[in-house]
Amino acid sequence: MPTPNPRHPDFPIPGGPELRAKGWRQEALLRLLENVLSVGENPDELIVYAALGKAARNWASHKAIVETLLRMDEDQTLIIQSGKPIGLLKTHARAPLVIMANCNIVGQWAKAEVFYELEKKGLICWGGLTAGAWQYIGSQGVIQGTYEIFMRIAENRFGGDLAGRFILTAGLGGMGGAQPLAGRMAGAAILCVDIDADRAQKRQEIGYLEAIAPDLDTALAMIDKAVAEKRATSIGLVGNAAEIYPEIARRGIVPDIVTDQTSAHDLVYGYVPKGMSLDEVKRLRVEGPGQLMAASQASIVDHVRAMLAFQQAGSEVFDNGNLIRTHARAGGVENAFDIKIFTEAYLRPLFARAIGPFRWMALSGDPQDIAKIDDKLLEMFPDNKIVTNWIALARQHVPFEGLPARIAWLGHGERTALARAVNAMVADGTLAGPVAFSRDHLDAGAMAHPNIMTENMKDGSDAIADWPLLDAMLLCSSMADLVVVHSGGGGYAGYMTSAGVTVIADGTPGGDERLELSLTNDTALGVMRYADAGYEESLDEIAIKEIGHIAVG
């Protein structure tokens, strides 16, 4: 029985024991499609997050996808091209139920302007990372990653503690909205700027922001008080970061940590230039996209110059993966890449061991299923401090959005062990229903992005996109339920390729086999990708866990 969704009343949250499809595998994927819209930023337009990240190409495609999932058998595979279903073919019961390729444009044509032209013609849509793959779970999906970044900075620069430290950031959308809660969980006083009052209000309503300040002076006073008291807090401020960052710098204020998660990746449909209202930007998206792109880039130049000024003054400054440095450099900021990318700076030792953002969703809609899996996770990995610390914090601070879900950074073998244990819990009735397992596309073997995931690889292999393609083929061979290959759209066009996977723990022996092969091979490839690039952590992981890596040369 679906649960009413106060935020988006036309998009109820799926759940309950009743099947509409012919089996739980099909039903699971249908519920995940429904779920990404229930927690999306603009579901009326099928947009889940990141300005343009869509769950399906258009409503006709969405309707056809739903109808196909309802009628298809287990020995059939639904083929989706950029959010549009194009075929249902007989394969076999151990093949993926759904395979997708979203927004993959041939190299020389993979540019923002070509993407916009193709999108206007209705030929393509961008799936973001987890939007088009029906894997998005709301802001929780990136909260732990953001929290772990803040804690790595705490360990590296501040003695392991962010109490009494000031974080300045911007962006409160589907991804950036995780920042205020992650900062507060890390013990800091965090100020989050966003141009959209509705976004700030939403983050306050779900408890991510503690307060919204009426102006910059009040916001800074609230931060100063929390810093002096060494009290964790999260303050929102409605305004344009390209104006507010330079003003804070002009006042001589030096935050301890500075980053940004606005939609700077897209100069037309994402970023809002300073001096423009949201209504004016919406008009220019239709009437003057070229003018808007130029204005966005000019604002990003000011935005990044302020970030560089903070860095020069002593702040820990990093790029959070939104291409803001890339657009700033194109606009004339030659030293924009003096700002480091978060993956290389803080998380690469984890990724080299294929430790990354694993997630699971309780398809029953029952929060107790997640609580029971939390308990199982703590029982299985009592010595894993990343896991035990995170679960304690998540239980206390992280609300569910849509289907009850949890994220935890687990590595090779750990993901498989947990998923198989959960499959057994489904089989014996401990859980109220099946569970879907997935992960972020920002994972060890799953993404090639030379300005984010694979920036400054040891061997110079930053731009090689073979790895996510191999990952997708391997996952199909390993019987995953859903496999997807995504490339960048909008401002991300030409910058990245990634692979995604979903596997259903339905309590059956077949589910157990799919989980074991898919999750084990997914992380194995991740370890091998970093081993091939020469990372000692990966070579160590291969030796310890006897991964079938072939060393050449």
Q: What is the pTM of this model?
A: 0.96
Distance CA 451, CA 462 (A): 8
Distance CA 13, CA 297 (A): 38
**Residue 426 annotated as lining a ligand binding site:** no
Distance CA 352, CA 276 (A): 43
**Residue 303 annotated as lining a ligand binding site:** no
Which three-class secondary structure string do you get for 177-235? HHHHHHHHHCCCEEEEEECCHHHHHHHHHCCCCCEEECCHHHHHHHHHHHHHHCCCEEE
Q: What rounded mean pLDDT belongs to the chain? A: 97
**Residue 62 annotated as lining a ligand binding site:** no
- 497, 480 Cβ separation under 8 angstroms: no
- What is the pLDDT at residue 229? 99
- 8, 37 Cβ separation under 8 angstroms: yes
Pairing status of strand 257-258 against strand 166-170: parallel
- 412, 353 Cβ separation under 8 angstroms: yes
From the CB of residue 369, how many other CB atoms can be counted at a distance below 10 Å? Answer: 26
Buried b (16+ CB within 10 A) or exposed e, 254-267: bbbbbbbbbbbbbb
CA separation (Å) from 354 to 415, 422, 547? Answer: 10, 21, 12
Domain coordinates of the chain in residue numbers? 1-38+56-126+352-553, 140-347
**Residue 375 annotated as lining a ligand binding site:** no
- What is the pLDDT at residue 174? 87
Distance CA 9, CA 383 (A): 43
Distance CA 66, CA 33 (A): 9
- 516, 457 Cβ separation under 8 angstroms: no
DSSP secondary structure letters along 437-490: EEE-SSSTTTEE-TTTTTTT-TTS-TT--HHHHHHHHHHHHTT-SEEEEEE--G
Backbone phi, then psi, for 327, in 5-degree steps?
-70, -35
- Mind listing the pLDDT tens digit for each residue in 449-459? 999 999 999 99
Taking the alpha carbons at both ends of the chain, their separation in whole angstroms is 58
Three-class DSSP category at 138: coil
**Residue 307 annotated as lining a ligand binding site:** no
- What is the pLDDT at residue 342? 97
From the CB of residue 251, how many other CB atoms can be counted at a distance below 10 Å? Answer: 11
Distance CA 70, CA 19 (A): 9
**Residue 261 annotated as lining a ligand binding site:** yes
DSSP character at residue 4: P
Looking up tokens 């009437």 gives 287
- What is the pLDDT at residue 390? 96
Pairing status of strand 76-81 against strand 98-102: parallel
User: Within the chain, which residues score under 50 in pLDDT?
Assistant: none
Beta-carbon contacts of residue 553 (< 8 Å; ≥ 6 apart)? none
Distance CA 309, CA 314 (A): 9
**Residue 297 annotated as lining a ligand binding site:** no
Measure CA 381 to chain center.
24
**Residue 365 annotated as lining a ligand binding site:** no
Best CA proximity match to 506, nearest among 96, 24, 50: 24
Please name the amino acid found at residue 61: S
Q: Which CATH number fits domain 1-38+56-126+352-553: 3.30.70.660, 3.40.50.11720, 3.40.1770.10, 3.40.190.10?
A: 3.40.1770.10
Looking up tokens 């309780």 gives 362
Distance CA 167, CA 180 (A): 9
**Residue 16 annotated as lining a ligand binding site:** no
Strands (E), 264-380: 316-319, 340-341, 356-362
Looking up tokens 């001589």 gives 252
Distance CA 233, CA 82 (A): 41
**Residue 176 annotated as lining a ligand binding site:** yes
- 430, 372 Cβ separation under 8 angstroms: yes
- Mind listing the pLDDT tens digit for each residue in 246-295? 999 999 999 999 999 999 999 999 999 999 999 999 999 999 999 999 99
**Residue 263 annotated as lining a ligand binding site:** yes
Beta-carbon contacts of residue 197 (< 8 Å; ≥ 6 apart)? 238
Distance CA 99, CA 187 (A): 42
Distance CA 399, CA 335 (A): 40
Superfamily holding 140-347: Urocanase like domains (3.40.50.10730)
Instruction: Look at phi and psi of residue 95 and say left if phi exceeds 0, alpha if psi is from -120 to 50, else beta.
Output: beta
Task: Give the angle subtended at the CA of 42 by the CAs of 40 and 46, to the nearest 5°.
Answer: 85
Buried b (16+ CB within 10 A) or exposed e, 42-74: ebeebbbbbbbbbbbbeeebbebbbebbeebeb
**Residue 259 annotated as lining a ligand binding site:** no
**Residue 240 annotated as lining a ligand binding site:** yes
User: Any idea how long the chain is?
Assistant: 553
Sign for the pseudo-dihedral over CA of 246, 247, 252, 258: negative
